[in-house]
Structure 1
Amino acid sequence: MAQWAQMKQLIPYLPTQALNELYPNSFPMDVRCYLANWIEEQRWEDFDLEKVEQEPQALSLLDQITSYLLSLAQQNPNVVERMRLQHISRSMSMMRSQPLKLVLTVRDVLRKERDLLSRTIPPHFPPSPAQDPISVGPSTRDVDLLVLKVLEIQNCRQQIHQLQEELNWERQNYESIQGETYLESCQSRLISRIKAWRWEQHQATIGHPFDDNLSPMQTWCEQLLGVNGKLRQEVMLAGEPIPELQDRLGLLLQTLIQSSLVVDKQPPQVIKTQSKFSTTVRYLLGEKVAPGKPVLLKAQIITEAQARNLGQLGSVPSENVGELINNTAILEHNTSSKSTCATFRNMSIKKIKRADRKGSESVTEEKFALYFTTEISITGCDIPYRIQMISVPVVVIVHGSQDNNALATIIWDCAFSEPDRIPFVVPERVPWKQMCMTLNSKFMSEVGTQRCLDNYNQHFLAQKIFDKPDIAGDYSNMLVSWAQFSKEVLPGRPFTFWQWFDGVIELTKKHLKSYWSDGLIFGFIGKQHLHLILKDRPNGTFLLRFSDSEIGGITIAYVAPSENGGQKIQNIQPSTKRDLEIRSLGDRIRDIDFITHVYPDLPKNDVFRKYYTGKSVHPPTRDVTHRHGNQWRTNLVKAFSSSVTTLHS
């Protein structure tokens, strides 16, 4: 550092032109000052421009310089100096393609410094004591020193002006970078919200709550597009180009444009060939679409394997696996709703190509999707963008008899898939607790009731699917397989668990909704438990339960006298959908004289009176239906709890 210590004494007396020639832009005096000690320790004289093999060593020195400068910048409390050092570091990094040239520049600077120091007499020595400065007039040397001082002041003013300009540029650059960071964070939250909306839409199939309002997200998309445009404009107006920032803003723009396409109205998830259906795709940046040629969206059907290959934009499904009729639609803007949508009307699948199936896999387990794509131009953007989106999984059937099994595939997919899964991966087994929630949600949403399946109903369902007759068992931690849910028939029955459960849903939805909502149907209960709770009740006591031997049936279990003077539990032939279309459940109960009291002990005519049609068997004297209905539900729970306690004891 001894050489730089001498140079610091000499520099104030050097003309500005001499300083500019000594320290070029590629190696400014700031670097010489801040890294003086380290610079003078390096072996710069060993380098030669002709020795290409020295480039790695030269590059290493350049990297050390830029690293030291960035470290000094981070430690410097002065914002002007900090930004100045950052700017110099970036500028020197641009010489990585010519590291030898920079190394030789440093070598030459050090040589010129040594030459200046060898030829210059230090200008700050005091005058000789023999001279009387007062008596002697101003010498030429004094004038020279004065001129140098003025030049130094001018140079300082110019440096201050230059630093102020660089500070303004750095502030603008810094604000642009900060703006890009905030934009990226906000856009990331938006895209996460769009994904969550799609997931909630998918879950709505099994009855989960779903808000389909897209207007807030559309406003969010439009605002972010505007912010991106303003930031890109600010970067263009900056004194120097910032390629890295421009690229990041461009990538954010592309991601936003390509993430704003959503399937607003999904197609039916079980589609029968030759049957017509519709679906609607919405573009959240529709108001920003460049005017001119209409935007045409195209739909095609793709397989699960093709859906997996869509991970990277640009991979278009090459093989056509199905013939889709009416598969194009124009993107149209609705001024009243401020939405821009393409509605595919009267679509149909004319034919479908199946994949090779494995083992016992059936056609109703094969999942497809609708793939929507178009090319779109946005106002203010130079190039068009290709955008794409796929629908939720669909199962294609050719006959109505396949509908139930196809729906099972969809239920399992909606209930047990992960939000960011690979299309359309689902687990093979799920916890019974999770299955219970799904069955309850599906039952309530399909029937349209607020009354859920209580713990006793869910317990019997577990007995049914696991083939466990013990009513005291705990099934909460057991795993249910896809085969148990939909492929394997129940013991002693010709149908699967899902076929049986779905039959109950259909029957309740069409004929028993009010009875169920009023709490008049006990629901799912096994015969072992049935005998336990009815065994001590008077003759004629009855309850309503879903049949476990027939799909879509409800039966009346009642206490009857036995031949030996005791009691026995009887079950009336289940009433199916067809039976209830002929005569309602209420009238059937009224017609049976030997059932008199609803379990535990309420007169049937008081409880079911409002469900009777035509002429009443016993004309009412007062309206007691609502009061007795509530009392019956309360007593039922108490009696059931008592029976379970008795069983466990």
Structure 2
Amino acid sequence: MAQWLHMSQLIPCLPDDTVNNLYPPPAFPIEVRHFLADWIESQRWDDFVLEKVEMESQARALLEQTISMLQTMAQQNSNVVDRMKLMAISRNMTRFQQQPLQFGVMVRDILRKERVLLSTPPPPMSNPQQYQQYPNRESSFLNLQDVDHLVLKVLQLQEVRKQKHQLQEDLNWERQNFEGLRCPTQPNGLDPSSSEIQKRKNQIQDMEFNVKVLFTKSFELLKECVDCLDQCQTRLISRLKTWRWEQHKATIGHPFDDNLNPLQTWCEQLVGVNGKLRQELMLIGEPVPELQERLGKLLQVLIQSSLVVEKQPPQVIKTQSKFSTTVRYLLGEKVAPGKPVMLKAQIINEIQARNLAVVPADNVGELINNSAILEHNTATKSTCATFRNMSIKKIKRADRKGSESVTEEKFALLFSAEITITGCDTPYRIQMISLPVVVIVHGSQDNNALATIIWDCAFSEPDRMPFVVPERVPWRMMYSTLNSKFTSEVQTQHGLDHYNQHFLAQKIFDKPDFAEDYSNMMVSWAQFNKEVLPGRPFTFWQWFEGVMELTKKHLKTYWSEGLIFGFIGKQHLHLILKDRPNGTFLLRFSDSEIGGITIAYVSASENGGQKIQNIQPFSKRDLEIRSLGDRIRDISHITHLYPEFPKDEVFKKFYSEPQAPSIGGYIPVSLRTRVGMEAGSATSSPPPIADSPQSFSAHHFPQPFSPQESITPDNPCPTDMDFNPTTPVVYSEHISPGNNIDMELESILQTLEP
């Protein structure tokens, strides 16, 4: 109802004649627009055209709904005057029952005129205070306003042409009569010097002048319409490119509205306007090659730009594996009936993608099931070709340079067809390429191939030459990408904080003692996924992706509720835990293993002081056997989640219910995690669960650590440090040889896994 809200503010500023023309009584009085505003704006009136007789049933349904809603409102209205008026309006609307398309077109034109009025400057007002009521323009109307201006201008052109035609016919009639009047040999002939002859002659001259004026006006309007069409189409092409760019960015988690219906309506309106202007050009009476050529080129560009890959193929494709993709043609309803349109797909390499003006002759890969028919869906009004079982049988790779791997080579799918549009004699070749894809032959290449895609989606420029990407990017861009990908992949609103960001920067740059701002430091592709991390057998991306996968599969709720501290370095760990009582713990992602989460906690040292212990990380496999919540319950050494939340109040909802006694008489067996000295005690049991948990908001942990203040020459943080002279701390990377389970059931279960 946004459009009517603006119009209701604008109407007091408009002349009465304008309002009456906009909402013509009794056909469609302003009361209908007011009472049914929300419903009216939710319907697709732009589809109605008088020539589309097949839409008559849809128009009739909308008309009947309108009448029914008005009658319902009348019955429910307590005001007698309003009730009678609404009933009268509903009766008047029954006049359209024989011609429902006229009703649909009328409402369509009313909405268009509203948008035009909303886009024009406010009229002069005698009272300056009225300007305060004038509505602010919203950019959401911009595209529709462009088309509406163009449509109204075309209607004006058609009206001028009709006036010229009528005047020309009147002129021809007057000339014929004049010839008979001035001929003395005719029975009714007049003397050529008579006043009547002179009067008729002057009248004919005036009509000839008016015809010329209308011809000139018609020509000028036609040129204006072509200019306006050109501008409107340029904006459409730009919006289509933006849609594709947003689709590209969606790979790394950016928001993306995939609804193509508004763009399809825009395309259909422009191709319709182009056809009307070509008709007007033929009817103008004189050839205008310049305008004819411009309209032809505009039509060609529009037809060729309306092919869109609506559902992209997977950007990492394994050979011999099935995948699907959907290509949509936005001018599907304009395709000439008869021969079906067959869309074909082929795989192209980077060099071929840079030269799409030439049809690729060399096949760099063999595709199976690479053709599909463009089919129109009357329910969704979309025309799509769906490739459901496509597969890459084999791929031919280019010569690699230096250390470049096969997972860094990018390809694309090229979709093409020959198509004929109704009203056009010449068929057109249309084509569109997919987003870049990486082709792999084994699942072990998936992670590195995904890194190539992430880098491409995150850091490529719009309108780049395929598939150029920068070699280095600022850390702020890299962190933004990691955060966006993490939150979208895990499907959480809880993103990475600045402590996580600082540790990730320390890790990728291998600068654990650097406390300054990393934002403008440049990260290279090699640092991201070519070079292994110092002392590790994996790259930064492989490690980060493993954490992301673990969180998505097993830790989503824990992370979303702020129970996991996440990415934190050992030095930072010492700083925030050094003053905490024994049993205080936090959950952090392992920085030594791919896809692991560990528990760091404060415990008593042998000399009576304190030390920080790190339990061996739990992997995806571990958490499949026993959940993180149950493992936390099992470990009696940990009692309070940092900074001071009792663990049983925080994690109670994650604990599994006690196992029910077996019906068959067997003694039930349970798994239980033991750590360190607990492993030798078979009698220890988990602490009791609190009966009345207090309110808890882990998102607001107090954070005493500031990355910029933590690690400086004046504030060193060595591996071994004293909290105070009497409480020495000894850091232990892994204090447990493993997560020992009663009766060694865990190892047995692992051997039984398929």
Q: TM-score, normalised by structure 2?
A: 0.64
Q: Is the 8 A contact 1:533 1:643 kept in 2?
A: no
Structure 1 match to 2:612: 569
Q: SS of 1:253's equivalent?
A: helix
* Distance change (3 Å), C-alpha of 1:646 and 1:262: closer
1:598 counterpart residue number: 641
**Alpha-carbon contact 1:364-1:405 (below 8 Å) kept:** yes
Instruction: Give the gaps of 5 or more residues in structure 1.
Output: 1-145
Q: What is the distance in 2 between the residues matched to 1:555 and 1:595?
A: 13
Question: Which residue identity lines up with residue 239 of structure 2 in the other structure?
Answer: R
Instruction: Please name the residue that 1:195 is paired with.
Output: 241
User: CA separation in 2, counterparts of 1:379 and 1:350?
Assistant: 38
Cα distance per residue 1:558-577 (max 9 Å; x no partner): 11212222111111101100
2:515 and 2:708 in contact (8 A); partners too: no
Deviation for aligned residue 1:307: 0.3
Contact 1:376 1:384 in 2 (8 A): yes
Picking from 355, 360, 378, the partner of 1:309 is 355
Go from structure 1 to structure 2 and tell me whether the alpha carbon gap of 1:582 and 1:430 turns closer, same or farther (over 3 Å shift). same
Alignment of 1:324-363 (within 5 A): 324-363=367-406
Distance of aligned partners of 1:383 and 1:555 in 2 relative to their CA distance in 1, 3 Å threshold: same
Match of 1:278 in 2: 324
Q: What is the Cα deviation at residue 639 of structure 1?
A: 3.5
Aligned to 1:493: 536
Asked if 1:218 is matched to 2:264, the reply is yes
**SS across alignment from 1:450:** coil
Match of 1:380 among 396, 401, 423: 423
Q: Aligned residue for 2:103?
A: none
Aligned to 1:557: 600
Q: Separation in 2 of the partners of 1:549 and 1:168?
A: 82
Deviation at 1:540, TM superposition (A): 1.2
1:512-570 residue CA offsets vs partner (Å, 9 max, x unmatched)? 00110111100000001111111111111111000000000001111121222211111
Residue 167 of structure 1 deviates from its aligned partner by 1.9
User: SS at 2:504's partner residue?
Assistant: helix
C-alpha displacement of 1:597: 1.2
- Which amino acid in the other structure matches residue 277 of structure 1? F
What's the CA shift for 1:617? 4.3
**Which is further off, 265-274 or 378-387?**
378-387
The verdict on how the C-alpha distance between 1:586 and 1:468 changes in structure 2, with shifts beyond 3 A counting, is same
Matched, 1:179 2:225: yes
Which residue does 2:493 correspond to in 1? 450
Quote how far apart the aligned CAs of 1:156 are: 8.0
Q: What corresponds to 1:612 in structure 2?
A: 655
Alignment of 1:47-62 (within 5 A): none
Q: Tell me, in whole angstroms, the C-alpha distance in 2 between the residues paired with 1:461 and 1:580.
A: 24
Change (3 A) 1:417 1:643: closer
Quick one: which of 698, 702, 711 aligns to 1:637?
702
8 Å Cα contact 2:517/2:708 also seen in 1: no
1:474 paired to 2:517: yes
Cα deviation per residue 1:216-254 (whole Å; 9 max; x = unaligned)?
A: 111111111111111100010012111100110111111
CA–CA separation in structure 1 for the residues paired with 2:379 and 2:242:
27
- The residue type equivalent to 1:354 in the other structure is R
C-alpha distance after superposition, 1:244-302 (max 9, x if no partner): 00110111111111110000110000000000000000000001111001000000000
Question: Highest Rg: 1 or 2?
Answer: 1
Q: How far apart, CA to CA, are the structure 2 residues paired with 1:151 and 1:431? A: 87
Partner of 2:284: 238
Contact 1:471–1:529 at 8 Å: present in 2 too? no
Query: CA offsets, 1:485-524, max 9 Å, x none?
Result: 0101001111000000000000000000011011110000
Q: Give the secondary-structure state (helix, strand or coil) at the position aligned to 1:166.
A: helix
Contact 1:525 1:545 in 2 (8 A): yes
Answer yes or no: is the 8 Å Cα contact 2:459–2:469 preserved in 1: yes
CA contact (8 A) 1:372 1:388 kept: yes
Q: Mapping of 1:34-53 within 5 angstroms?
A: none
Greater shift, 262-271 or 600-609, is seen at 600-609
- Contact kept? 2:502, 2:707, Cα under 8 Å: no
Query: Judging changes above 3 Å, is the alpha-carbon distance between structure 1 residues 200 and 162 closer, same or farther for their aligned structure 2 residues?
Result: same
Stretches of structure 2 lacking an aligned partner (at least 5 in a row) = 1-191, 659-684, 716-754
Q: Give the counterpart of 1:396 among 430, 433, 439.
A: 439
Q: Closer, same or farther in 2 for the Cα pair 1:444/1:361, shift >3 Å?
A: same
Structure 2 residue 530 is the aligned partner of structure 1 residue 530:
no
| Counterparts of residues 67-78 of structure 1 (less than 5 Å) | none
The one-letter code sitting in structure 2 at the alignment partner of 1:451 is H
For residues 101-180 of structure 1, what are the structure 2 equivalents within 5 Å?
161-180=207-226
Partner residue in 1 for 2:583: 540
Distance of 1:553 and 1:185 partners within structure 2: 55
Instruction: State the Cα distance separating 1:155 from its structure 2 match.
Output: 9.2
Cα drift, residue 640 of structure 1: 3.9
Alignment partner of 2:305 out of 256, 259, 263: 259
Instruction: Call closer, same or farther: CA 1:645–1:368 in 2, change over 3 Å.
Output: closer
> The residue matched to 2:355 in structure 1 has which SS?
helix
Q: CA deviation at 1:642?
A: 11
Partner of 2:366: 323
SS in 2 for 1:548: coil
Measured in 1, the distance between the counterparts of 2:711 and 2:536 equals 31
Distance apart, 1:159 and its partner CA? 6.3
Secondary structure at 2:256 match in 1: coil
Residues 1:287 and 2:333 aligned together: yes
On the 8 A contact 1:180/1:249 being kept in 2, the answer is yes
Q: What is the letter of the counterpart of residue 317 of structure 1?
A: P
- The answer to whether the Cα contact below 8 Å between 1:460 and 1:471 also exists between their aligned partners in 2 is no
Q: 3-state SS of the aligned residue for 1:545?
A: strand
Alignment match, 1:299:
345
Q: Distance in 2 between matches of 1:471 and 1:620?
A: 42
Name the CA distance, whole Å, in 2 between partners of 1:531 and 1:621.
Answer: 29
Q: Distance in 2 between matches of 1:646 and 1:412?
A: 31
**Counterpart contact for 1:532–1:643, Cα < 8 Å:** no
Residues 397/244 of structure 1: CA separation in 2 closer, same or farther (3 Å cut): same
User: Are 1:365 and 2:434 counterparts?
Assistant: no
State the percentage of identical aligned residues.
Answer: 74
Matched residue, 1:624: 693
Task: Specify the SS of the correspondent of 1:556.
Answer: strand
Distance in 1, matches of 2:688 and 2:529, equals: 48
Do the aligned partners of 2:601 and 2:613 also contact (CA within 8 Å) in 1?
A: yes
Name the amino acid aligned to 2:443. G
Matches of 2:286 and 2:618, distance apart in 1: 83
* TM superposition score normalised by structure 1: 0.74
SS of the residue corresponding to residue 190 of structure 1 reads helix
Match of 2:626 in 1: 583
Number of aligned pairs?
497
Deviation for aligned residue 1:153: 10
Whole-angstrom CA distance in 1 between matches of 2:699 and 2:255: 27
Give the corresponding residue for 1:127: none
RMSD in angstroms over aligned alpha carbons?
Answer: 2.3
Post-superposition Cα deviations, 1:571-606, rounded to whole Å, max 9, x if no partner, equal: 110110011111111111111111111111121111
Deviation of the 1:638 alpha carbon: 3.7
Cα distance change of structure 1 residues 306 and 510 upon mapping to structure 2, 3 Å threshold:
same
Could you tell me which amino acid in structure 2 is paired with residue 221 of structure 1? Answer: C
Does the CA-based 8 Å contact 2:418-2:430 persist in structure 1?
yes
Secondary structure in structure 2 of the residue aligned to 1:323: strand
Structure 1 position 249 matched with structure 2 position 292: no
CA distance in structure 1 between the aligned counterparts of 2:424 and 2:625, rounded to whole angstroms: 66
- Is the CA contact (8 Å cut-off) linking 1:559 and 1:567 kept in structure 2? yes
